[in-house]
Amino acid sequence: MTNRTKLAELDAVIKHAETYEEYKEACEAHDELSGAEEWKAKDACKEYDYRLIRKRVQRIKLARSRGDALGLMSILHEGIHGNLGNIANAALKNQSKIGTKHLIQEFIDQVCESLDFIYHADESEIDFYEKLSFFDETAHAFGQSCLMLSGGAGLGFFHGGVVKSLSEHDLLPDVISGASAGSIIASLIATRTNDELIEALEPQNIYEKFSQWRLWQGFGRNSLLDSTNLENALIELFDVTTFEEAYKKTGKHVTVTVSPSDLHQYSRLLNAKTSPNAVITQAVRASCAIPLVFSPVQLKAKNQAGDIVPYIPNRRFADGSLMADMPFKQLARLYGVNHSIVSQTNPIAVPFLSRDKKDTRGLFALTWRHMANITKLNSIYAFDVLEGAISNKGAKLGIHKIRSIIDQQYVGDINILPKRGFASLKHILANPSLRSIEKLIRNAERATWSQIDLIKRDTQISKTFSKYLKLLKAREERVLTQHNGLRAVPDQKSA
């Protein structure tokens, strides 16, 4: 059997693998046979600064061999980021089925082991508050990843398989956003422990809640679809939980995006920071309010007495994906995010996005991207002119929404997409069957497998920072609580 035949057989195994373990094993065998393993073992490569990375690894190893925690802190303080020496170059991802240059992986491992070394360093050498300051400042400078779940109506159940796969591999970021259908899955993450989340994402459970989300009510009403079943499902899932209550339970920074239903308003990001008392159920219902399909809604909040009251009175909100499908810039400001994982099911974007890892730096690809950017800018300009020329309020609002759709960015650093074609798009406005949900989730898991190794590598350092920073802050809280408790005890002599 020739190498080409064996590689073709392995490609078939990769395509039809039933488990991630089977997929990974076939990818590793493919890399061994194709010569990709030899490529990984060679440091030299024009796609990244291997000399810089090799020197940094040597310095880290030397400091660790000397037990020099302060030296390690200095090395990491000098400049550590996810693309040091261009190690995140997309071209490096095209050379193998799985994994990357051994030198790059060694650098990442050495950084994580150094963080472990610093955390456990003797506090006679580095005291507690020096450690806390180092982890806090350096983690903020390094940044963290976010997961963004797009809109997509019925196709949004695809997100369930993505989240399930990431959760099973302990790769769910702490920062998550959801728009429209994505807000449902994001809110499940916000309100459930890991075990509860996996159970909630079982196809049977999703089917029981959303099998009749689409109820036709006809023309001449304030919306084409009756939202009763959708609202009942959301109430059953989230009750009157607020964003702050959800964060206290799971520690996940989950954002739901909504768009205004009138002019002169901007999209809003609802989360434990910006709107801690807002009720998640109404936020999700608003984010799912596709114009004309579902009516816009007023948000609700929980006051100090525990009563449910209007939030932002006299305003109604609609589909979050219209103006903030992928709110990366806002998340960057709020949470120090600088790396994004996107599960994209928005029908406006999905048909046009690439599903492979091929390098797209050729002349044709560059020309295509340049022409697409010019077309986008010209379209935005045309809609700005049109909006200014029209006086009708309803027409202005419609033009403004279309402009917002065109002006958005629909991709991230890592993109997980459903299969292209009618088989996927037919889910958008259809009531699902149990079989269709099972198929969507299964396809999503498969689509996620090809990104698992990359996500693990891209988030390894930030997750290590997060782990030790949480431990240090928890310890600080215990010390402060104990200290305040002692101060509250009356002095025995003065009593």
Dist CA 66 CA 60 (whole Å): 10
Dist CA 273 CA 253 (whole Å): 8
CB 154 within 8 A of CB 427: yes
Q: Is position 223 annotated as part of the catalytic site?
A: no
Residues paired with residue 311 on neighbouring β-strands, in sequence order? 299
State CA 410 to chain mean position distance: 13
Dihedral sign computed on CA atoms, order 184, 189, 191, 308: negative
Which entry of 174, 319, 413, 458 is annotated as an active-site residue?
319
* Beta strands at 308-311 and 225-226: parallel, antiparallel or unpaired: unpaired
Find, among 342, 493, 469, 329, the residue nearest to 418 by Cα: 342
Q: How many CB atoms lie within 10 A of CB 192?
A: 19
* Beta strands at 308-311 and 317-318: parallel, antiparallel or unpaired: unpaired
Task: For residue 301, count CB atoms less than 10 angstroms from its CB and return exposed for 0-12, middle for 13-18, buried for 19 or more.
Answer: buried
Which entry of 96, 150, 165, 180 is annotated as an active-site residue?
180
Q: Is position 180 annotated as part of the catalytic site?
A: yes
Residue type, 280: I
Find, among 385, 453, 477, 487, the residue nearest to 166 by Cα: 453
Dist CA 187 CA 272 (whole Å): 12
Dist CA 13 CA 249 (whole Å): 41
Dist CA 113 CA 110 (whole Å): 5
> Which residue do the tokens 């195994």 mark?
13
Give the three-class secondary structure for 297. Answer: strand
CB 309 within 8 A of CB 282: no
Question: Would you state the structure tokens that stand for residue 165, as one six-digit string?
Answer: 């796969």
Dist CA 8 CA 11 (whole Å): 5
- Biggest CA pair distance of the chain: 91
* Beta strands at 253-260 and 268-270: parallel, antiparallel or unpaired: antiparallel
Find, among 239, 153, 147, the residue nearest to 192 by Cα: 239
Residue type, 301: A
Number of Cα atoms under 13 Å in the Cβ half of residue 349? 27
The residues annotated as belonging to the active site are 180, 319
